[in-house]
Structure 1
Amino acid sequence: MTTQTPGPVLPPAYEPANVEERIYRMWEEAGYFKPRIDPNLEPYCIIMPPPNVTGELHLGHGLEDAITDALVRWHRMQGEPTLWLPGEDHAGIATQNVIEKELAKEGLTRHDLGRERFIERTWEWVRKYRSRIADQHRKLGASADWSRDVFTLDPQIVKAVRTTFVNLYRDGLIYRGLRMINWCPRCETALSDLEVDYLEVASKLYYIRYPVVGEGGMPLPDYVVVATTRPETMVGDTGVAVNPADERYEEKIGRMLLLPIIGREIPVVADEHVKMEFGTGAVKVTPGHDPNDWEIGQRHDLPVVVAIDLKGRMNEEAGPYAGMTVEEARAAILRDLEDEGFLDHVEEYTHSVGHCSRCKTVVQPLPSEQWFVAVTREYEPGHSLAGDAIAAVKDGRIRMVPQRFEKVYLNWMENIRDWCISRQLWWGHQIPVWYCENGHTICQVEDPDACPECGGSLRQDEDVLDTWFSSALAPHADLGWPDDTEDLRYFYPTTDMQMGYDIMFFWCARMIMFGLYNMRHRGPEEAVPFRTVLFHGLIRDQHGEKMTKSRGNVVDPLVAAKTYGADAFRFAIVTGATLGQDQRYSDERMAAARNFANKLWNSARFVLMRVGDRKLKRPHPLDRDLYALEDRWILSRLERLEREADSLLRAYQLGECARQIEEFLWGEFCDWYIEMVKPRLQAGDERPLKVLVHVLDHGLRLLHPFMPFVTEELWQALRGHIDDEMAPQLIVAWYPKSGGNWGDDAAEAAMAHVIEVNRTIRNIRAEKRLEAGARPQVVVRAESYAAALRETAAATNFTSRVELTVLGPEAPLPEGEWGFGRVADTEVAVALPQVDVAAERARLEKELAEAEAHLERLERQLGNAAFRAKAPAHVVQGMEQTAAETRERVEGLRERLAALGGRAG
């Protein structure tokens, strides 16, 4: 047996600032975050969603840390080789924007520097700030293996990205083509569909007359009225479309219309895509500036006119409006339409407008030559990226928690479109494609010196890859792929993946597609990137609004952790909502979690002071009969909690698990057990000490994944007092599981009854306004639990400040005034001091009159059929519950008045 020495004496109060940094440094220096690879053990591995290297962690990162670290610590305490692999994302658009803003302060642009110097400048910034992200994770207690930290522009990841691109290219899954894409004029790059936020915008619907060619004369000849929200794009119209079933335009189909102002002749085409109920049923077709119009134009072979350039200004195709901004052109075109009689009328209109998810600029749909991943094209018979990713979830190889997200995922995947992966940026993974001066195209992993076909000079494609392309490789690339590394062989597939549901399509779906593709040589079961993916909700402000800098409602997790302690921050957000559900940030919940840590600290301090310098053996279930009822109760409740915690953690119900641990430690252990054994401790009984130490030890182990700092500090003080084999630190101690054979349903039922009797005594004391220092006589007339009440009488006397007598159910009460209560078949009577009967009667009559009036109002409202028909069900149910409680109060007041000789009804 290892010799233990008693732990240090605890200071009077828990100060997180004096504990957290020291404890974390102790863990990290001891190497506990680094897993030991053991072929005989099943590992646990999870990849950290890499935060952008651009700045501070936000609340979402804090929630991810709290959830993931709880899982990681739980698995580590079960003896599993556990790897939490951290990393940071180069964040193409975001990082480039940050550096360009820095340059702007110096009066420079990236073009002043040139590509090479700009990238060097960005690397300088990254090297300076990247470590800040890891330090922030450390402050939240994230027990990740920082020796394996990965950056998405590390050489190994560059190799993985290029290998993936080349393989996809050779399999015909990556192509370059002219397609309608989303263009951000502010970021000056293409965006994927997922990088566009559609916001409802109050706008106008403009009705414009397009004259029919060949219908001359005055007044204005025959015309077709089209409705549009974007009149500035009409300069790029190459047709007008109507539904072939629309009888209003049957004779117009095939005719030519004159494009107002510009004077170009454009045809009327019939297309089933047109909704007859929108506007007039006739829509302008602008293939160069609308994805739906692009499709119509492709079907009807309409020319493409692009009138808005990459900076969001009108180009030469816009005729007289060239050089104007979109907003300026709109105003000028509307003015000219009205002056020339083409503007029919205008209506108020609200519609959805695409905005860049990064900078919130209105996105311009433009046709552009870009690189795409063909997600639905087969690369082998029966296999496509999307099809394989759908099958992996449908057949259960990948499980989603909560399960309802499987439907959301499958719906999106079954309607997925090709992914635009090229970005017109300088910072990121430059596309590994080179163009030869003699017309050859080379795609390979390593940079070529010259064209392998003709020896000619080469120019590399200037675009970089979408940031999510490299992120999608995380589960296998972060473990060393495409090399055959020990980590990849041992830890892949990873066990869990955890993220906000808002990046399901950005990241989760793409990781599944790329993992199944790149690792398919392992077979379908072992190719999946992870076995389970967990989706957490968003943290909103106290009013339920999304947190944004523009609203000024952002909460910094590091500030919250410093204010309340990292443990309190973690505990509050883990218990704030179940997986997949949004939650509201609450300082009150943070303060409550801090109070829980303080409560635990004070209780542990009490236990350690009582233990002194002793080393105690654990209580043994074979000695069950030697222990008092409250001892057997708390040990049974502990065993039940251990069984429930194990079940909840396996089901990923972390919040519920943490709540149950808190209820046990704060309520049953601290508030009831510790208080009830104090008389026995004062009498010199050492049996409670063994129980106190054992339960505190197991309680700290159970709580450690959720509140690691305070539990480690307390456990270090406690471990030397336990005569048992103990780990050097709690982070690697075993996690409790049921099986200690302390289960005792009879003791639990008896103590539940005793506790309810104590609560009833306290309620009567409060209701009768007995002085806090008074120790009234209490008589309980009991049948079923009389023995339990007698055994715990000394504890009841101490905790509830009374003098208890336990009688049989038929025994008479002594003379005097009594306050009554009942718990099951036990009657509780609390002796009352002599009172002024007349004054007490007057007080009770006033309370009764108020209660009766309240009940009458409730019953009148509940009896109103119109109210019941209109009010929400939960409101009606709440009022019915209130009415029932008020009715019960009325009856109680009448009984007490009758006992005083007043009115009974």
Structure 2
Amino acid sequence: MIDKYDPTQIETKWYETWEKNGYFKPNDKGEESYCIMIPPPNVTGTLHMGHAFQDTIMDTLIRYQRMQGKNTLWQPGTDHAGIATQMVVERQLNAQGTSRVELGRDAFVKKVWEWKEQSGNTITNQLRRMGASPDWSRQRFTMDAGLSDAVLKVFVDLHEEGLIYRGQRLVNWDPTLNTALSDLEVESVEENGFMWHFNYPVADANGNATDQFLTIATTRPETLLGDTAVAVNPEDERFQHLIGQQVLLPICNRLIPIVGDEHADPEKGTGCVKITPAHDFNDYEVGKRHDLPMLNVLNKDATINKNTPEAFWGMARYEARKAVVAEMEQLGLLVEIKPHVLMVPRGDRSGDVIEPLLTNQWYVDAKTLAKPAIEAVDNGDIKFVPDNWKNTYYAWMNDIQDWCISRQLWWGHRIPAWYDENDNIYVGMSEQAVRDKHGLSDELKLTQDNDVLDTWFSSALWPFATLDWPENSKELQTYYPTNVLVTGFDIIFFWVARMIMMGIKFMDNIPFKEVYIHGLVRDSHGQKMSKSKGNVLDPIDLIDGISLDELLQKRTQGLMQDQPEKVAKIEKATRDEFPDGIKAYGCDAMRFTFASLASTGRDINFDMGRVEGYRNFCNKIFNASRFVFMNTEGHTAQPFDASQASTVEKWILSRLQHCISEYRKHMDRYRLDLASQTIYDFFWNEYCDWFLELSKPLLKTEHKEQVQSTLLYVLDQALRLLHPIMPYVTEEIWQEVRKRLKLKTESIMISAFPSVDETLIDDKAEEAITWIKNFTLGVRQIRGEMNIPPSKALDVVLAQTNETDRAHLANHNNLLKTMARLDRVSLLTEGDEEPAAATALLGQMKILIPLAGLIDKEEETKRINKQIDKVNGEIKRASGKLNNEKFVNKAPAHLVDAEKAKLEQNQVVLRELEEQLEKLKSL
């Protein structure tokens, strides 16, 4: 074992060993299988803190189950991320002075594959650095040949059942990416805009304008060019008489009907609503109800098309907006313009304003697929953890709309549909399959659909397609359905629901039994981490460390040069938080931090102080282990026999059983935060702080070999408990334990996980050692308060003892003297006068330390008064700041909170010093 804890010396070494020896692969000997599917990260970049958090949870679970002898599979892979990946490669081409259009489809797709190889390797290397232990030999990619065949088969089968169809409907159209988007890929952003009020003249029987008007209001004046009706509420007495008549549409000079429809709210605006069925989702429904024309006035790049007056042809939409408003004003039909706050739909990738557009797209009949998927959660076949997330699932599933699955991209699974010259559609696995099925001659020209499938369509098949479906493989039989899906709440709609629908449809079984929903990782102030905010942390930087200059460069990279204020703000915040950069904490400390924060479903504020603390914990584990090894040199390994153990050993063995029980209970409930706290408390507080100290005097007795056995046995068990969360430091130490205990298993990661041994639970031993601990703490408290050196042996007088106290004292007198550093312990009998002494209580018993001659009362009084003056100064300073309204109102919240904490802490210290002073006066 290395001499000093240094994660850089052990991480790469042990990961290579594990992978080389095939420990990550399933163990066919295990009778019970356990499988987790990785949510495949996009190949568009590097892993972020959310990935690190999620992957730590999954790896901890898989290691925990692997050590229980289960046949475990953690299935790795990556997603082709259609839109995101195409955008990345297109930007690269643009920077090189070319474009995908110039390259052509085949050459462009080849470029994307080249980029994928580079980026995909980056992600898998990062996962390795984080200690992830999936079966790399089964790594999959959503565009692999096998997965692609599965995607085509699902499309063809659903189409043959009528559950996939092609239709012309209104979709969310991204003018930048030139593709349709699902509702889930559109973000509604509150923005300041305007509401324009226009007059539309009512027409007479001959179609001429009258002097009567209907006033409509719109936030999108350019859509006037596509109006095909004006709607009024049929119950609105102001306009009932006009239903069935027409208005003369300004600028276009088209007659359009006035229809009665409940979409028009008499209480809102003017009560009259312009209807543009081809460019508004609500208007589209009105148009269908009244059989209105669907007039599309936009090209796919959001310029105005030729279904409008010639003056507008080719205008960009916002240029056309200005032109429409100007002409309406010139015609005297502009009533007013009011400032208006509105929700603007923007594409989550491009950031461009989305246009509702009437296009031909492919759709999945989601309502039909959703019904059994809802029942699976209703009847408890699938459980959400925490349970409340099923309500979010229901909210979407019960109101699900047909799913638009076609995307106007080149990167992705190309839709397996072919068209002849008469636009007849043929769907099949390949062009040849289509020709064979429909008896089409080779002379008949067929053209494949240019669109690709939505990325979520292929990832919906992930749980069974990665297990070689449609082949009924051994893996599919063994691991489907999987045990748990670990994911964030933000993709319950995108991915979780769709996997359930597709799994039930094609496997006739649920894809997973439980869905563990974790929260988002936020920065230490609770802010969402984002590149634009400049508060992103890279998990690899926490492992390896990074200088301040490198961190500043990372956080401001890509920001526009014309944003100096934003750059300066990010730089200042970074310097304030990381004045010396980020230290190298190692993988184990980072993983333990994530585990300690993993309370189900809650967002976590990532605190670097915790990472520092758990780096110290790694060091504590290492140093404690070295103490054990130094004190077990030459120990002859033998079968562990607890029957010969002393009370101290029986106590630690009993506490170990409680720790194992609690740890397993928490892990089985996905409470990694409580599991990590349980083993932390046991190892640091009970094993290190108490058992190692209590063992020192015992190692000098005839029980030495027995104590050595216990030291090694408990260390072995504790390391196994820690391993799923902290794989590296535990493996490094355990290899030395293995040698001393002559264990045959080659690695801790394939060793047996501890289970509770009821015979080792000993309430009497626990009661005895608890009494010794509290006695020792009472003496230490007096030493601290009275400034008595820890090395000075003390005389202690005990008063008000009962039978139990006296029995513990008789049985453990020598141990007590060693732990509390005592010279002599005497008992007061009833009627004896208590000496002037400092006192601590243990139940009813008084622990008295006579201070006469032990301390200089005058000097001690001066020392305490000096401390009181100093603390009062700090209290005055903090109170002054907190009473300053400018500081409280303008300083960052975390600085104000820090001052409040300092004030409270100093007030507690002041009370303790004053109590010490009172004790001195009584001497």
TM-score normalized by structure 2? 0.86
Deviation at 1:838, TM superposition (A): 11
CA distances 1:256-304 after superposition (whole Å, capped 9, x unpaired): 2333433333333222233444333332222111111111111112222
1:427 corresponds to which of 403, 411, 421: 411
What does residue 865 of structure 1 align with? none
| Comparing 117-126 and 155-164, the one that deviates more | 117-126
Distance 2:908 2:468 in 1: 70
2:494 corresponds to which of 506, 510, 525: 506
2:447 corresponds to which of 446, 459, 464: 459
> Does the aligned pair in 1 maintain the 2:204–2:210 contact within 8 Å?
no
Distance 1:728 1:276 in 2: 78
Residues 352, 791 of structure 1: CA spacing in aligned structure 2 closer, same or farther, 3 A cutoff? farther
Deviation at 1:588, TM superposition (A): 1.2
Residues 308, 691 of structure 1: CA spacing in aligned structure 2 closer, same or farther, 3 A cutoff? same
What does residue 371 of structure 2 align with? 387
> Does the aligned pair in 2 maintain the 1:661–1:703 contact within 8 Å?
yes
1:43 partnered with 2:33: yes
CA distances 1:749-792 after superposition (whole Å, capped 9, x unpaired): 33333323333333333333334554444434343444335555
What does residue 485 of structure 1 align with? 473
> Does the aligned pair in 2 maintain the 1:676–1:796 contact within 8 Å?
no
Residues 797, 312 of structure 1: CA spacing in aligned structure 2 closer, same or farther, 3 A cutoff? farther
What does 1:405-554 align with in structure 2 at a 5 Å threshold? Answer: 405-437=389-421, 439-448=423-432, 451=435, 452-455=438-441, 456-520=444-508, 527-554=509-536
1:595 corresponds to which of 616, 633, 641: 616
2:23 corresponds to which of 32, 36, 42: 32
What does residue 593 of structure 2 align with? 572
Deviation at 1:396, TM superposition (A): 1.3
**Which residue identity does 2:495 align to in structure 1?**
W
Deviation at 1:414, TM superposition (A): 0.9
> Does the aligned pair in 1 maintain the 2:428–2:434 contact within 8 Å?
no
Distance 1:448 1:209 in 2: 59
> Does the aligned pair in 1 maintain the 2:468–2:476 contact within 8 Å?
yes
> Does the aligned pair in 2 maintain the 1:215–1:221 contact within 8 Å?
no
> Does the aligned pair in 1 maintain the 2:835–2:850 contact within 8 Å?
no
What does residue 632 of structure 2 align with? 611
What does residue 2 of structure 2 align with? 10
| Comparing 437-446 and 407-416, the one that deviates more | 437-446
What does residue 191 of structure 2 align with? 201
**Which residue identity does 2:784 align to in structure 1?**
A
How many residues in Structure 1 have an aligned counterpart in Structure 2?
845
Deviation at 1:353, TM superposition (A): 2.0
Residues 331, 797 of structure 1: CA spacing in aligned structure 2 closer, same or farther, 3 A cutoff? farther
1:402 corresponds to which of 386, 399, 404: 386
Deviation at 1:580, TM superposition (A): 1.2
Distance 1:741 1:277 in 2: 76
What does residue 542 of structure 2 align with? 560
**Which residue identity does 2:537 align to in structure 1?**
V
What does residue 758 of structure 1 align with? 776
| Comparing 890-899 and 90-99, the one that deviates more | 890-899
Deviation at 1:67, TM superposition (A): 0.6
Residues 819, 228 of structure 1: CA spacing in aligned structure 2 closer, same or farther, 3 A cutoff? farther
What does residue 185 of structure 1 align with? 175
Residues 450, 268 of structure 1: CA spacing in aligned structure 2 closer, same or farther, 3 A cutoff? closer
Greater relative contact order (Cα < 8 A, sep 6+): 1
Deviation at 1:470, TM superposition (A): 0.7
What does residue 573 of structure 2 align with? none
What does residue 139 of structure 2 align with? 149
What does residue 607 of structure 2 align with? 586
- In structure 2, the gaps of 5 or more residues are 545-583, 880-899
> Does the aligned pair in 2 maintain the 1:215–1:222 contact within 8 Å?
no
- In structure 1, the gaps of 5 or more residues are 1-8, 377-383, 521-526, 859-878
Residues 555, 271 of structure 1: CA spacing in aligned structure 2 closer, same or farther, 3 A cutoff? same
Distance 2:390 2:82 in 1: 30
What does residue 716 of structure 1 align with? 735
| Comparing 24-33 and 640-649, the one that deviates more | 640-649
1:689 corresponds to which of 701, 708, 718: 708
Deviation at 1:151, TM superposition (A): 0.8
**Which residue identity does 1:696 align to in structure 2?**
L
Distance 2:145 2:102 in 1: 28
> Does the aligned pair in 2 maintain the 1:375–1:417 contact within 8 Å?
yes
Residues 326, 615 of structure 1: CA spacing in aligned structure 2 closer, same or farther, 3 A cutoff? farther
| Comparing 887-896 and 118-127, the one that deviates more | 887-896
Deviation at 1:712, TM superposition (A): 0.7
Distance 2:377 2:335 in 1: 53
Distance 1:249 1:210 in 2: 14
CA distances 1:99-136 after superposition (whole Å, capped 9, x unpaired): 11111122111110111111112112222332222111
Residues 224, 598 of structure 1: CA spacing in aligned structure 2 closer, same or farther, 3 A cutoff? same
Residues 68, 115 of structure 1: CA spacing in aligned structure 2 closer, same or farther, 3 A cutoff? same
Distance 1:361 1:691 in 2: 66
Distance 2:189 2:795 in 1: 69
| Alignment RMSD | 3.2
TM-score normalized by structure 1? 0.87
Deviation at 1:727, TM superposition (A): 1.2
What does residue 148 of structure 2 align with? 158
1:646 corresponds to which of 664, 681, 693: 664
CA distances 1:610-665 after superposition (whole Å, capped 9, x unpaired): 11132333542333xx413x222211110011111222222222221111111111
> Does the aligned pair in 2 maintain the 1:512–1:528 contact within 8 Å?
yes
| Comparing 669-678 and 109-118, the one that deviates more | 669-678
Distance 1:238 1:87 in 2: 50
Distance 1:547 1:705 in 2: 27
2:670 is paired with a residue whose SS is coil
Deviation at 1:443, TM superposition (A): 1.2
Distance 2:919 2:53 in 1: 58
Distance 1:583 1:252 in 2: 59
**Which residue identity does 1:412 align to in structure 2?**
W
Deviation at 1:337, TM superposition (A): 3.5
1:84 is paired with a residue whose SS is strand
**Which residue identity does 1:130 align to in structure 2?**
G
1:644 is paired with a residue whose SS is helix
> Does the aligned pair in 1 maintain the 2:80–2:143 contact within 8 Å?
yes
CA distances 1:27-82 after superposition (whole Å, capped 9, x unpaired): 111111111335x7121111111111121111121112101111111111111111
**Which residue identity does 2:297 align to in structure 1?**
A
Deviation at 1:404, TM superposition (A): 0.9
2:665 is paired with a residue whose SS is helix
Residues 303, 775 of structure 1: CA spacing in aligned structure 2 closer, same or farther, 3 A cutoff? farther
> Does the aligned pair in 1 maintain the 2:642–2:650 contact within 8 Å?
no
1:349 is paired with a residue whose SS is strand
Distance 1:894 1:542 in 2: 37
Residues 422, 726 of structure 1: CA spacing in aligned structure 2 closer, same or farther, 3 A cutoff? same
CA distances 1:169-217 after superposition (whole Å, capped 9, x unpaired): 001100000111111112211111111122222333333333333499x
Residues 91, 773 of structure 1: CA spacing in aligned structure 2 closer, same or farther, 3 A cutoff? same
